[in-house]
Structures are given as structure tokens and as C-alpha cells.
Structure 1
């Protein structure tokens, strides 16, 4: 999802004289370099990852086909707006609904009902929280309530539970969400450093052996006796959860855990960027676009999505500021004034503005390397070299440069995909027209390697009759 965040902090937008051109340029170049680095590394790793899967005759999980590309902007909008409402105080949520109702020229009687709801909700929100049994009773008609007698020990039990269950509000949910995001970032970082860890461990006697582990949860698709599921055939079982790790994965997680602990306790921009870069590279590698047309549709949909939520509302920027988690890259504007450790005023770039164009550019890398070949290409020994990956990286760099230039000129948040999508989509199409490969590029499809029901039947013939 394209989390477009203003590449400048609020303080910069309100008081640009506080930072010199050198400070602003340093922050922009740093973000610029980090984003391009993520796309180059992620694209190269993506081609290797998909080629490895194809060679093993396996199916690729997490693919974005035409079907998913059509739904992605809508589902992303629903998630984004849900987070926006979550961060809004209760009374402001109702006020927002009332203001929208007035803009849409909703009849006044309905606007009055909304306002009455606001007044009622605000008044009730100051009352002490009632025990659960009282809330249940309040929903029962009065004539029936008179016939219900709640024993004192039941009332006492509910009071006892209410006093000991901690209050779960927005702050507690944000702590949990931040931890989950950071932990996923830790696993991404550990995956990237694992080759280095493996190389070091193989030097140490006794630690080089890399034993694999499979953590799984499997269920039967038909009724069977206890103990039979272990030896049941594939057609009679399916996995609900399956994760494969090895000893070197565990060592890599331990090695990277100080980054997680440090970020959870300090929230420093360096640990934020380590996690964010790992997220971006692994996201570009593992999020698989199934075809060029799916990628074009996805970019077109998110192009509109980004413009609407940034220019049309304050939703995008509010959510980005509300989530205190590594969902963006940061670089301090005041690094020359206070140093890297005390800096607090940051330029920012959302990870979505790296990953979304990145998975499309990774698809072009696979097109260059002919990971999936047509019959004509397979028979032609004198294949022309392709350079769509390199050219589109330059196009992305140009789009990001335009984004930052416009942002610095208007001193306001910009939807980065407004500038990135035309550059990343139109320039490779123009190159294909020049080279006479428009049809080959537009019809490039890796759909036969997508993990879906149709392809599973081709890989496992036993499933054809199920």
C-alpha cells in the first residue's frame, strides 16, 4: 500500500528558514539514495527468487494477479480509512461524519440526528464504565428485566473481573501494532543478513551444520481417526499454517534482535531505517506481480488512490503520523545542528512509495532475464539484450526527483505516485515501442507459476478430481 508521507517534517513546512539548503539537500539525497538502493537490490533478488522457484517447479505464493490488482486500491482505501477513524478521537469521528453529510447536502433532519448522536455520545462517554452484566440487562425490555434476578455472587464476579482486566484502548493497540510491525521487520532484516551469518557459522566448529525445522498446523479435509492425519495423503489434508526455518535463521534473529530492542525503546531514525530498508527489499523480492498488465493496472489504481487520499483529504498524512512504527524512511534535517544522535526533525518517505513501484520494476528485471520465455524466444539463440530494468530505475529516480522538487517548492505533502507512476509505466512502454517489443512486454505473464487452485492441480494431479 502506498503510504505517501510528506518528505518534510511539519516543522520544516511551517518554518523553512530553520534549515539551510545544505541540510535539506542532504536529507533529500539520503532518502533518494536509500530508496533507489532498495529497488535495485530488491529487483535483483526478486529475479533470483522467482528463477529458483521456477527451476524447482514450485508455485509462487503472494502473487498479485489481475483479480487482486483490481481490488487492491479499494481494499487499501478501506484499511487506510479504518486506521484514520481509529486515530481520531471519538467526538471528532462524529464531527467528521456530520461535516461530510453537510458537504453531500444530506437532508437537515439527518444532520440533526447526527448532531444529537454526538451530544448523546459525548455525555455518555464521561459516565463510568458499567459492568458487562448491566450492559446486557439494559438491552432487555424492562418488563422482562423485572423477572430476572442476578445473584450477588454473579455481580461480584463481574466486578472482580472488571477491576483486574486492564483497559485496552488506542495506546495499548498501538503498542501491540508497533511490536508486530517491528518484529516482522526483524525477520526481514535477519533474512537479509543470514548469508553473512551462515558464512561465519561455518567457520566455527560445531555450528556449521544447518538443521531445518518445519513449524506447521495441518487439518484434515475429511473425518478420520485419531493419529491418522500424520500419514494421510495430501488430498485429505491441508495446511493452515506452515513456516520453514533452520538453525542459521535462529542465529540471524538473535544477531539482529538488538535492532528490535533498540527501536522499541529509543525509536531512533537509524534503527527505523534498518528495519524499513529490510522491509522494502524483502517486500520487493517476495511480492510477486504475475504479469505486466496486472502491474500496469495496479499502478493506475494506486495512482488515483494516492492523489485522492493526499490531495482530497488529510487521511494519508494523519495515519502516517499516527502510527509510530517503521513504515517510512527518515533522515534528520537538523543533523548538522545537533548531530545524528540527538536529531529530531526528519524528512520522510513512505515505504509504499518504494515497494509499489519496486515490485513493478522487479517484474521488468525478470522480463529482461526471460525468466518466463515464449516458444519463439526459447528457439532463438540470438536473443537481443534487454535493459528495461536499468532504464526504469532511471525513470523512478526521475519521478522521485520531481516529487521532491515539487514538495520543496510548495512546502506541502505530495502524493509521490502522482509522479512515479507515469515515469515508471510510460518510459518502459516507450522503450518497448522503440525496440519493437511492445507486444512481448504487454503480454509478459508469469501466471502459470502463481499458487492458485488451477496451477496446484497441474503440479499435483491427485487434486484434479477434488
Structure 2
């Protein structure tokens, strides 16, 4: 059930996204508020009744920057040697499908409240015509949610309007923060440290990151209208929201696991993210040059959280927290409860 502060954050995010259509909004303020609200919404949506069963391992976290670098360089070479229009046409088709899925999933919780309970719970299983082993499970509610998602993505594909780009981008961010789980703060620290170096290298030492960001005509970045004709939009990559966001979300779930929903380490991590993002904007405007946002955000998020847990004397508890173990323990407990109830029923017989 969505609480009042979550509902307020959703409304504020929607209003802020639409605001530049009607009034002049300072792009720097827009970047900060939009990113922070997106992280906030995604974090609270990541809190589920049961811990995630699948989490990122330390090995995956170590490989992530290397895989990201390979993909980034591949895109750079692709744009360099293949027609940009052709590449973007293929990417548009890909993001059309991906956008429907992400936007539908983002809208689903709001839509479900107005639909019959049966539509939300009864699964429909669709089997591929010639590949019976390939099947997809979905509910009627998901079909309903996909209708506005499909029309919206069609509008994006046809017009490539900045508003459509941003709504899809925000949906990707919310879904990423909601669905991805680091599992532990150790894994999160490894991932953030690797991407900290990744971001610095590709922005400061090569033209690759900036070139791909400008050439890539897809919702992998948020666009914020400016009043400057030479630079009509300020940009923020989705990775600068999702990557720190999943770490902040982990802090929130850690608080929830300890019975602290609205305070504790989530507040520190979220404040660190906000401070890092503000510093990014300040430095970017000071030097009038693109900045690797993770250079400032990662120390902010990790630093604020580290200071807080050291102050509380809870470093050990923080480092030992592992969602995969929590999920495993809960499944064992539920199994033992079932076994116990089964034995009791046999005795009663």
C-alpha cells in the first residue's frame, strides 16, 4: 500500500516532469529535483514483503565496469563506422518494446487499484506457436497497463519529444532501482568503486562517453530544457540515477529489516546522493564542461553512510547484512513451519 509521502513524491515527480511545458524551470534545479525524486520513488518501490531471492554477486559487481566499458566502446565504434540514422532506428525499435514493458510496470500499481481483484491475481499463460517450451505469464491488469504504455511509446518513436524521452527514462530508472538488488553493502561498495573509476576514465580521458551520449538518440539520458539556443538541453545519464539509487535502496531495506522505515541509514545515503549531485552541477557550471557525475555522487553516498554507521558503532551489522541470506533464512523458516504443521496434523489423525 502506497503511503502518503510516497504518493506525494510520485505526484511531485510527475508535476516536475511536465512543468517545463508550461513554465520556465531552472535546468540545474530540475536535474537535482528530478533525479532525487526518482531515486526516492524507486527506493520505496523496492521495499517488498519478502527479500529479493536473486541478488548481485561480488564477482558480477567486479565485472560490471568491464562489461560496461566494452559496450560503451562498441557503441562508439558503431556510431563512428555505421550510419547514425540506421543505428538509432534499430535502437528505437529496441527501446519501443523495452519502453512498453518499463512504463507498464511503472503504471501497474496505480492501475491495479481500480481493477477487479481477479484481474490482478489470475495468471494467463501464453505459449509460443512453434516453441511450446517458450511461455509468458501475465495478468489482465498487465494487459490494461500496457495499453497506455504502447500508445506512449508510439508517440516517442514518432516524435522523439524530450518529454516522452524523460518519462520513459524515469520509468527505466524506477524499474531499475525497484528490481535490481545489490544484496549486500560489500557488493554495493565494489560496484560503486568500479563505476567511479569507469566514469572518470571515459569522461575525462577519452571523448567516448560524451560522444555516445550525444549520438545515442534513445531514452538513456534525461533531457532538461534550457533557455540557451547553443545548448538547448542539459543532460543526466540514467546510470547516474540507477547505480547510486540501488545502493540507496539497499540502505532503505536495511532500515526496514531493522524496523526503521523513515529514518536511519536511508536518510544518510539519500542525503549523500543529493549532496553529490548538487556538487556535480556546481562543478559543471563552474568549469562549463561535462562532468562524471559518479565522481561526486559515489563519495557522497558511501561517505555519508560510512560516517553514520561509524558514529552509531554499527559497522559490523552494516557489512554483515546480506539480503540473499535473509531470503534463504525466511524460506527455511516457512518450510519448517509447513513441515511442523504437517506433522501436527498427522498426530491429530
What's the TM-score once normalised by structure 1's chain length?
0.61
Say yes or no: does 1:26 pair with 2:26: yes
> Structure 1 residues 209, 391: CA separation in 2 closer, same or farther (over 3 Å shift)?
closer
Q: Is the 8 A contact 1:182 1:325 kept in 2?
A: no
Q: Is the 8 A contact 2:255 2:261 kept in 1?
A: no
User: d(CA) in 2 for partners of 1:442 and 1:385?
Assistant: 21
> Structure 1 residues 433, 210: CA separation in 2 closer, same or farther (over 3 Å shift)?
closer
Residue 245 of structure 1 aligns to a residue in which SS?
A: strand
Say yes or no: does 1:73 pair with 2:65: yes
Residue 183 of structure 2 is aligned with which of 281, 290, 294? 290
> Structure 1 residues 260, 411: CA separation in 2 closer, same or farther (over 3 Å shift)?
same
Q: CA deviation at 1:242?
A: 5.5
Say yes or no: does 1:252 pair with 2:163: no
Q: Is the 8 A contact 1:185 1:275 kept in 2?
A: yes
User: d(CA) in 2 for partners of 1:414 and 1:41?
Assistant: 25
Q: CA deviation at 1:64?
A: 1.4
Q: CA deviation at 1:383?
A: 8.6
User: d(CA) in 1 for partners of 2:57 and 2:120?
Assistant: 39
In structure 2, what is the equivalent of residue 391 of structure 1?
268
1:420-456 per-position Cα deviation (integer Å, ceiling 9, x unaligned) = 00010011111001101011112211233689xxxx9
Deviates more, 1:298-307 or 1:344-353: 344-353
Instruction: Work out which structure has the larger RCO, using CA pairs closer than 8 Å and 6 or more positions apart in sequence.
Output: 1
Matched pairs, number: 310
Q: CA deviation at 1:201?
A: 3.4
5 Å-filtered alignment, 1:89-104, equals 89=81
> Structure 1 residues 284, 209: CA separation in 2 closer, same or farther (over 3 Å shift)?
closer
In structure 2, what is the equivalent of residue 301 of structure 1?
194
Q: Which runs of 4+ in 1 moved over 4 A?
A: 207-210, 382-386, 456-460
1:270-306 per-position Cα deviation (integer Å, ceiling 9, x unaligned) = 1111101110011001011011100001000000000
User: d(CA) in 1 for partners of 2:95 and 2:268?
Assistant: 33
Q: CA deviation at 1:197?
A: 2.3
User: d(CA) in 2 for partners of 1:197 and 1:32?
Assistant: 28
In structure 1, what is the equivalent of residue 347 of structure 2?
none
1:324-376 per-position Cα deviation (integer Å, ceiling 9, x unaligned) = 000111111039x9xxxxx9811110000000000000110111111xx7xxx
Say yes or no: does 1:180 pair with 2:172: no
> Structure 1 residues 385, 37: CA separation in 2 closer, same or farther (over 3 Å shift)?
closer
Say yes or no: does 1:194 pair with 2:194: no
Q: Is the 8 A contact 1:65 1:289 kept in 2?
A: yes
Say yes or no: does 1:83 pair with 2:63: no
* Structure 1 unaligned residues grouped into runs of 5+: 1-21, 91-168, 218-229, 231-238, 338-342, 374-381, 461-466
Let me know the Cα RMSD of the aligned residues.
Answer: 3.3
Residue 289 of structure 1 aligns to a residue in which SS?
A: coil
User: d(CA) in 1 for partners of 2:106 and 2:87?
Assistant: 29
Q: Which structure's CA Rg is the greater one?
A: 1
Q: Is the 8 A contact 1:364 1:389 kept in 2?
A: yes
Q: CA deviation at 1:246?
A: 0.8
> Structure 1 residues 435, 327: CA separation in 2 closer, same or farther (over 3 Å shift)?
same
Say yes or no: does 1:310 pair with 2:203: yes
In structure 2, what is the equivalent of residue 266 of structure 1?
159
